[in-house]
A and B are shown apart, each in its own frame.
Chain A
């Protein structure tokens, strides 16, 4: 437990990381470093996005599965590690 906490703190402290969100399976954020409105926005949008991405990957080959999603936009990069019962979301601005 301490290892995980430490790793999470390290992640949050890396250069350019704007925020970290953990979303549970129902789309509710359970841990976040951003404000509530932004968090709920990201949680809702990314939940449906990753479901769609996973559906697309598995439709092509049902034995395949989604492991990671990166959305690179002009201002930042959204990194999502999807699993069955949670989503780990990190927003980073790498060129900061």
Chain B
């Protein structure tokens, strides 16, 4: 009998695998597996769970059908009341079921298509322990003995409490088995609390936050790639943006709310969509202003990397060799050369400011910005035989040596330019046709020209040879110093310009013989050089006649320059090839410097060292150091044949000189091996002695 039953139970196992349970209304109430059924035999010794009991062949359950064993098996499952019911049903009901539907033994794995009706019902109560009380009458023979025994027992029970023989001890009841429940979400949202994210969330005003929401909605709708922005369906869209914003605000519980909506996630990328989307991306990025700035900065960084040694030399920093670069044999000699201290002073070329736009123009003037000493304005123009060509102004920055960041085309050749000190971005420009203009270099486009004298009634007709910004005392207050623009032209006028709202007005004076150059001082005294070689001292207050006249040069004066360190000393250069050193109150030149019979185009003092000045001749540059020699120039640097050098400028704070030529290039030279006179007057004892001799 047991053998047949065992056989049947094995068949039951096959049936049970594909079991489906329907209740009276026909609904499928099949219990789902909570965990994946693990086919290990090891869990036999553990408490059997519902699944194991239902779906596993455990020998402990289906052992035999003898009553004692039945009891023992039931006892083991006594805590699972509902299970016992089902178990018993199986034992009782499935057997008759199987007798009606014979199963072929050995058919494994094939689900049976028939539906079985299983009726669950409660069984009779089984008694496990029955201790019934014995009743005897009081008149029985051993009633006393029983009473005695009862009394002893009652005492014993009452004495039990405080007695040492008995201890109160508790033992733990059976702990119900814990249920392991797993959940899965489709949405993966996480964030990290960073200090800046908190700051951003709280510092954004509410209006902006809404804009950000709508922006994010657009973003979510248009890019359906990321998992947390994958709610693309319309029904879920508001919730998606809701939880997106709240992610950033760290309200985590709201993320839970969002998962309740009915959303569809699109984690698949459409290949066509992808290609189309990157095109407008690129366009949008390239046109944005931030990208313009990024490219600007990037170009500067790259150029700085390329020119790092040259710029270090310019700034007077020690040039360090890059430890990772390969050493080339030519460099070795270069390095040993530097170690020799007693070398002759030379000009070493560092770099050249040149760009395709400037080729073909000749450089006429250069000026440093007063506020930002890294910005250089260069004026280009040429007028061969009185025929001027359209000119150009370029603003170069030391941060980008290969491309000028501001280029302003002019209608005529530029002859001179200067930056203002009170408005550091204003650049005054004088041109060959007599017009004076002011440019605002902060603006990069054609609106940079903020004033032009072409419409002014009293404008010049002759070339403007110099424009200067002078600080002048206002007559009424006497305290303030306002800057005025003064221009000197070839028609003999020195004009003061008043900048009106949209133009110029000039206060002119003194038509005289042609003026060529002029230079001004704070005290209102200025010196004019004329075409006929005379030097005149004049005053701003007295505009009718000269105060003094210095001895003449035989030929036109080309340039006058005040010494930056001595307030009454100036240099003049002229076409006769001489450079004269003057003191303000002496009518004869103190010193005269001649080297070559050639037109001296310009002479400039060095702002760093008080005995050094440079002069530019057509074919070479001379640098004079008066502390070394007053007879000969210290350095003579020749230009390439065919090239005319036309402009000269010193760089403040750096031992360098800039030379502009007729090819449109500005070359920066470093003054090497000069004894650096720090420019303090203390060091300079010899100079006044020379003057007073």
Contacts and interface: CB of A to CB of B under 8 A. Distances in A.
9 contacts: A14-B306, A14-B402, A17-B302, A62-B199, A75-B324, A79-B301, A86-B291, A88-B295, A95-B325
A10 B301 CA distance: 13
Interface of A: 1, 3-5, 7-8, 10-11, 14-17, 22, 24, 26, 28, 30-31, 55, 58-59, 62-63, 67-68, 70, 74-75, 77, 79, 81, 83-86, 88, 90, 92, 94-95
Given A11-B298, A59-B194, A95-B322, 15 more contacts: A3-B292, A4-B295, A7-B292, A7-B295, A11-B302, A15-B306, A55-B196, A59-B196, A62-B203, A79-B301, A81-B297, A83-B290, A83-B291, A86-B291, A94-B322
Contacts of B576: none
Given A16-B306, A62-B199, A74-B324, A30 B301 contact: no
A88 B198 CA distance: 27
B5 to A, nearest CB: 67
Nearest to B308: A94
Nearest to B403: A10
Nearest to B279: A30
A37 to B, nearest CB: 18
Interface of B: 194-196, 198-200, 203, 223, 225-226, 278, 281-282, 285-288, 290-292, 294-299, 301-303, 305-306, 308, 322, 324-326, 402-403
Contacts of A10: 299, 402-403
Contacts of B297: 67-68, 81
Name the prevailing secondary structure of the B interface residues. helix
Contacts of A74: 324
Contacts of A30: 278, 281-282, 285
Nearest to B306: A15
A4 B295 CA distance: 8
Contacts, number: 100
A88 B324 CA distance: 26
Given A26-B225, A74-B324, A85 B285 contact: yes
B198 to A, nearest CB: 8
A16 B199 CA distance: 41
A30 B306 CA distance: 27
Contact of B195 (A5, A31, A59, A85): A59
A81 B288 CA distance: 14
B295 A8 contact: yes
Nearest to B198: A62
A30 B296 CA distance: 20
Contacts of B203: 62
Contacts of A15: 306
A16 B198 CA distance: 42
A22 B285 CA distance: 9
What are the 5 closest A-B residue pairs judged by CB atoms, nearest first? A95-B325, A58-B196, A62-B199, A81-B294, A94-B305
A70 B282 CA distance: 24
Most A-side CB within 10 Å, residue of B285, B306, B324: B285
A17 B306 CA distance: 10
